[in-house]
Amino acid sequence: MEIQEIYCSQTGDKCNFIKHSSGLKIYICEMNGFSTTEALFGTKYGSINTMFKTGKDKDYTTVPEGIAHFLEHKLFENEDCDAFALYAKTGANANAYTSFDRTCYLFSCSENYLESLKILLGFVQNPYFTQETVDKEQGIIGQEIKMCNDNPGWKVLFNMLQGMYHNHPVAIDIAGTVESIAKIDAELLYKCYNTFYNLHNMVLVIAGNVKTADVLEVADELLKSCENIELETVFPHEPYEIVKSEVYEHLPVGMPIFNIGIKCAPLSGYDRLKADMECYVAGNAISDPSAPLYKKLIDEKLINSTFGFEVFEGDGFFALIFSGESNDPKKVLSYLIDEIEGIKAHGIDKELYNSIKKSTYGGLIMESNNVEAVASNLISAFMSGVEPYDQIKVLSEMTYDDVQKTIIERFDTKNLTLSVIE
Amino acid sequence: MANYLRKIIADGVGYSTIIDPKFKTNRIQITFLTDLLEETAGANALAVGIMSSSNAKYKNISEITAKLNSLYGASISVDVVKQGDYQKLTVGVSSINNRYALEGEDISGETLSILLDCIFSPNAQNNEFAKEPFDFRKKDLLDSIEAEINNKRGYAVLQNQKKAFAGENSGNSHFGTKETAENLTSAQAFASYKRLLSDAQIEIYFVGSEENDTIEKKISDAFSKLDRKVKENKFINFSPLKQNVYRFEEKLDVNQCKMVMAFKTDCTDRHAMKLMNTIFGGTPFSKLFLNVREKLSLCYYCASNYSMLKGTLFVDCGVEEENIKKAEQEILNQLEEIKKGNFSDEDIKNSLLSIENSLKGIGDTPMSYVNWYYSCFVQNEIITPAQALEKYNEITKERIIKAAESIKLDTVYVMKGE
């Protein structure tokens, strides 16, 4: 198998890429001087992938919401014991998570990483579900859903997404609902497993204190070759426009919290990354503490230091989110719209643009210093369909005009939803 | 493992250097340790908040952030937490190494100057902070106090602590009360600032890729000019056990109930206590996780945590109302099992492996170094993670049982839906 070295000319960082004969893509970053190893075994299967078919199927299958997350929980158990009991023997710190577009199983450790890697590759490739264990899990996940519903930061986001998306499953809680998970049975879990946990749809990322040759030896031993099943996932048609412009809910919170989401047309691959980075710089030029809007909102006591911005994107969705705490979220919104329209008309302040860009570059350098962040960036690149280090490449090629154009094209102030928990 | 060196640069001011060539970043942090009192906690928090967002040259958060952004996203952070009976207030800067500067800027030199100005040349006149940074941070402080309820798990633990540690400093919130915060004036915040510089224990940490004498000299010069009068501090203060278990409830508009149980100990064998806690509820293969969550499906989370500074062990869980009693019974039952010695050599071995795994990972981030040596300092025993591991490896089953036998239930808090 060919080991391809991927090099980042901006920072001098590098990693190895291997297209394994089993169908799995493997990224390995050897980091000198670090003691920990971070490994992630992930599949492009998240809460939004509820409609799919393989090359052999005639029709699309639709599955209950929350099933990817349910599967994540169940995969931790095999016939004899659960994966935590296996990891207990190596000392590794193990976990798993499901997000909108992926499910990842991970461990970090500072000893015996090859033993832990064997456990990881072993249990993820060996599902074991029975109706009895599925029933038991419904109780635990039911508690998890209730816990999330008591988290106002989580609720304000999903209320906003429901105000923005008509049909796209991004608006549904990752864990599903108590009702939707009640429809899950062992047979459905096997169907989803066999579809999405095909090595052609998966990736292994390992960073830190590792040796490529040793990782590949374990991979050769344990990876089971998979036939490429030509998996296709689809999303229901999603109009460009939002559903409604305001969503309010009452819950116990201190200061009312808000999310303002601007809905944008979705993109994929390198174009999405480029738009993401441009929007990141643009959004910070609007909302950073050094920007005029922030000062104005602080001076009028409309926000506190929790005010922030993020780009929220994935397959079939792309949104720009401003969030914070305020006694008057509507007034914050009106100032925000004025600021965006002002920048569209007069251009971003050049000095502000340059300092935000420099700060973004510094942030990427800081991340390259951290084993966990390196592994996380490698897996994100795979999930987004771009190359490692494309982020810093996009940033170094970015121009002022690109960012100005992005504000005009994507910061559509007529297509936004305000969500408030008070 | 990097070299660690702590020097005393003024009365009650320690300067620790940790050099590790693999880092691409520098971290300098200044930590103040002072009694956590209801009257002063808010003013102290406000003082460090203002320090971290302004100085005489960059007068507000906008100006200082603009400057830091141009230094490749260097950042000044502020952190206020409870550490036993003390309030720990930290102002720190993180920045990338000069060798990554695209235009030859002296990033580390400039960030240090900004930090020292924040501490020694605040935006203040006539013993008051300027209105702008004061108003900004006062609103932040009040909003943070109100927002404590947003995180239900953390809120529940804090509610328990208020009763478990009633009458002790650690019963106070790290931000103090809303009432005190509301009435704070700029002059009071400034007085707190002065008091932190003169009275607090101050621990300074520099983590970087190479020795930097200039940084040490500048910091040392600045702090040695202070007029200091530091009292003898004692960071470990075990909380006394109540005669009767104190139980209380609160009703909130929530979907999931929470229970927090505080147990007290008089056992000073802290490594054995820590290992016992790991076996009991510190990992996903612990007794609590395997039984309360996995076997009985009573909770999504159920974990234990041991405070070495207070000799107190907390168990917290999220649970359905009808299962509260069952969960408490099972938690107590699991503790009894450990007291009876009903755990295997493998349980001990696996818990030790988990502790070893975290100890050996110390040093992979600048913060992990700082946190390690800081905790060594408050526990009055400066050792390397490798030395700590030796201490854990010497622990016998008898010592674990003895540690478990020493803990007694003290306070139970339950949050229920309305």
Interface of B with A in 72-91 (CB under 8 A): 72-74
Answer for the pair B348, B179: CB distance below 8 angstroms, yes or no.
no
Is B386 within 8 Å of chain A by CB? no
pLDDT band at A116 (very low <50, low <70, confident <90, very high): very high
Say if residues A28 and A16 touch (Cβ distance below 8 Å): yes
Q: What is the pLDDT of residues B187-226, one digit of tens each?
A: 999 999 999 999 999 999 999 998 888 899 999 999 999 9
| Same domain (yes/no): A33, A156 | yes
Token pair, residue B367, equals: 């913060």
Give how far A190 is from chain B: nearest CA, Å.
Answer: 22
Query: For chain A, what is the domain count?
Result: 2
- Is A181 in contact with B183 (CB distance < 8 Å)? no
Q: Which of B72, B256, B361 sits opposite A359 (nearest CB)?
A: B72
* The residue count for chain B: 418
Task: Convert the pLDDT of each residue in A123-132 to its tens digit.
Answer: 999 999 888 8
**CA B50-B54-B60 angle, 5° bins:** 105
A209 occurs within a structural domain: yes
Which residue in A35, A94, A325 is closest to B361 by CB distance? A35
Which residues on B lie below 8 Å from A361 (Cβ)? 72-73, 102
Ordered by where they begin, the domains of chain B are 3-224 (3.30.830.10), 246-417 (3.30.830.10)
Q: pLDDT at position A76, please? A: 86
Nearest residue on chain A to B349, alpha-carbon basis: A89
Q: Are residues A18 and A165 in the same domain?
A: yes
| Domain end residue (candidates: A233, A265, A297) | A233
Nearest alpha carbon to residue A100 among A138, A26, A157, A147: A157
Tokens linked to A205:
């990322």
Together in a domain, A228 and A252: no
For testing contact with chain B, the best of A144, A366, A374 (most B CBs within 10 A):
A366
pLDDT above 70 covers a percentage of chain A that reads: 100
Cα(A201)–Cα(A295) distance, integer angstroms: 46
Say whether B135 and A88 touch across the interface (CB within 8 A). Answer: no
Looking at the predicted structure, is the pLDDT value of residue B45 above 70? yes
Is residue A19 within 8 angstroms of chain B, CB to CB?
Answer: no
Does residue B70 sit at the A interface (CB-CB below 8 Å)? yes
Nearest residue on chain B to A293, alpha-carbon basis: B62
Domain final position from A198, A233, A268: A233
Domain presence at residue A238:
no
Chain A residues within an 8 Å CB radius of B76: none
Q: Which residue of A has its CA nearest to B66?
A: A290
Q: Looking at the structure, tell me whether residues A13 and A113 fall in a common domain.
A: yes
Whether chain B has a CB inside 8 Å of the CB on A396: the answer is no
Q: Please name the member of A33, A85, A251 whose beta carbon is closest to the beta carbon of B21.
A: A33
CATH number at residue A305: 3.30.830.10
**Residues A272, A177 share a domain:** no
Q: How confident is the model at residue B182 (pLDDT cuts 50, 70, 90)?
A: very high
B140–A325 CB contact, under 8 Å: no
| Residue A362 neighbours by CB distance under 10 Å | 25
Regarding whether A348 and A215 lie in a shared domain, the answer is no
- A240 in a domain, yes or no? no
Instruction: Please report whether residue A180 resides in a domain.
Output: yes
Helix (H, G, I), strand (E, B) or coil at B368: helix
Interface touch B256/A147, C-beta < 8 Å? yes
Bridge partners (DSSP) listed for residue B3: B19
Q: Would you say residue A81 lies in a domain?
A: yes
As a whole number of angstroms, the distance between CA B382 and CA B375 comes to 9
Assess whether A310 and A214 both reside in one domain: no
A66 and A165 inside one domain: yes
The neighbour count for residue A303, using CB atoms within 10 Å, is 28
Three-state SS letters, chain A: CCEEEEECCCCCCEEEEEECCCCCEEEEEECCCCCCEEEEEEECCCCCCCEEECCCCCCCEECCCCHHHHHHHHHCECCCCEHHHHHCCCCCEEEEEECCCCEEEEEEECCCHHHHHHHHHHHHCCCCCCHHHHHHHHHHHHHHHHHHHCCHHHHHHHHHHHHHCCCCHHHCCCCCCHHHHHCCCHHHHHHHHHHHCCHHHEEEEEEECCCHHHHHHHHHHHCCCCCCCCCEECCCCCCCCCCCCEEEECCCCCCCEEEEEEECCCCCHHHHHHHHHHHHHHHHHHHCCCCHHHHHHHHCCCCCCCCEEEEEEECCEEEEEEEEECCCHHHHHHHHHHHHHHHHHHCCCHHHHHHHHHHHHHHHHHHCCCHHHHHHHHHHHHHHCCCCCHHHHHHHHCCHHHHHHHHHHHCCCCCEEEEEEC
Q: Which domain holds residue A342?
A: 246-421
Q: Quickly state the pLDDT bin for B1 (edges 50, 70, 90).
A: low
Has residue A39 been placed in a domain?
yes
Banded pLDDT at B297 (limits 50, 70, 90): confident
A119 plus A39 within the same structural domain? yes
Give the A window 94-113 contacts with B, CB below 8 Å: 94, 108-111
- The per-residue pLDDT for range B58-71, each reduced to its tens digit, is 999 999 999 999 99
**Among B24, B94, B318, beta carbon nearest to A143:** B318
Say whether both A258 and A380 belong to one domain.
Answer: yes
pLDDT for residue A57 is more than 90: no
CA B279, B280, B286: angle at the middle one, nearest 5? 65
Size of interface A-B (CB pairs under 8 A): 183
Of B293, B297, B357, the CB nearest to A92: B357
Q: Based on the domain organization, do A211 and A310 belong to the same domain?
A: no
Calculate mean pLDDT across residues A263-276: 96
- Interchain CB distance below 8 Å, A33 and B354: no
Last residue of a domain, one of A233, A258, A274: A233
For residue A160, is it within any domain? yes
The residues, ordered by sequence, that sit 6+ positions from B356 with a Cβ below 8 Å of its Cβ are A91, A110, A111, B389, B392
* Alpha-carbon span A29 to A207, nearest angstrom: 5
Report chain A residues whose CB lies below 8 A from the CB of B71. 358, 362
Query: Can you tell me the distance from the alpha carbon of A264 to that of A170, in angstroms, rounded to the nearest whole number?
Result: 14
Same domain for A273 and A403? yes
Handedness of CA B266, B268, B270, B273 (dihedral sign): negative
Chain B contact set for A88 (CB, 8 A):
283, 285, 350, 353-354
Query: In this predicted complex, what is the ipTM?
Result: 0.88
* A309 assigned to some structural domain: yes
What's the average model confidence in pLDDT over A128-147?
85
Q: Is B392 on the interface with A (CB under 8 A)?
A: no
Given an 8 Å threshold on Cβ–Cβ distance, is A298 in contact with B136? yes
